Amino acid sequence: MPRSTDPLVIGRVIGDVLDSFTSSVSMRVVYNNSSDVISCCELKPSQIVNQPRVDIGGDDFRTLYTLIMVDPDAPSPGDPNQREYLHWLVSNIPATTGANFGEEIVHYESPRPIAGIHRIVFVLFRQLGRQKIDAPGWRQNFNARDFAQVYNLGSPVAAVYFNCKRDSGRSERRR
């Protein structure tokens, strides 16, 4: 059986967070106007403090999208009992624009992993039209699949993820 070369499969995003899907819209995630997020890349917490720019493709600005950003490895990959931790939620984003043109439902919270390597996943869903999306009562134990079902979003149209681990530095305990 041939092995997949899809980074979302290799990184177990497909399976842990999402079911298999076919990407149909371009999505570009950029931190600090310099660090493009490419699946499997590694970014340090110090690089992701500020909300990224997320550009959405498409050809008709009347088409709307919802963006979620989750950490399926919270609080640690060995015991992800807060899977999926919701870092950001934006809805009603017009195609051909960016997340800053949508309605921020849950404010951006920068990932701050304390143990292990965390996958930080951006998922884009196409909406059937403008809709009201309610903020969840908490960030931990969010579920992308359930969320998509509740809001009738269907399968994702794009996803990308990066790996993130605690910055090493002076604040770390000496051995």
Residue 38 is predicted with a pLDDT of 87
36 Cβ contact partners less than 8 Å away, ≥ 6 residues apart: 28, 29, 30
Residue 77 is predicted with a pLDDT of 95
pTM (predicted TM-score): 0.92
pLDDT digits (tens, 9 = 90+) for 59-71: 899 999 999 999 9
31 close to 51: Cβ distance less than 8 angstroms: no
Higher pLDDT, residue 1 or 73: 73
As a whole number of Å, the end-to-end CA separation of the chain is: 45
Residue 172 is predicted with a pLDDT of 43
Residue 40 is predicted with a pLDDT of 84
Kindly tell me if the per-residue pLDDT of 35 is higher than 80: no
Alpha helices in the chain (DSSP H): 7-10, 13-16, 144-150
CB neighbours (10 Å) of residue 128? 11
Kindly tell me if the per-residue pLDDT of 173 is higher than 50: no
C-alpha 151: how far from its chain's center?
17
Kindly tell me if the per-residue pLDDT of 1 is higher than 60: no
Kindly tell me if the per-residue pLDDT of 157 is higher than 90: yes
Q: What is the mean pLDDT of residues 82-101?
A: 97
Higher pLDDT, residue 33 or 131: 131
CA distance 9 to 20: 8
Amino acid at 1: M
Q: Tell me the average pLDDT of the chain.
A: 92
Q: What is the mean pLDDT of residues 24-41?
A: 90
Kindly tell me if the per-residue pLDDT of 171 is higher than 50: no
Q: What is the mean pLDDT of residues 51-58?
A: 96
Element (H, E) at 40: none
Confidence at 93, pLDDT banded by 50, 70, 90: very high
Q: Residue 122 to residues 103, 152, 163: CA-CA distances in angstroms?
A: 16, 18, 12
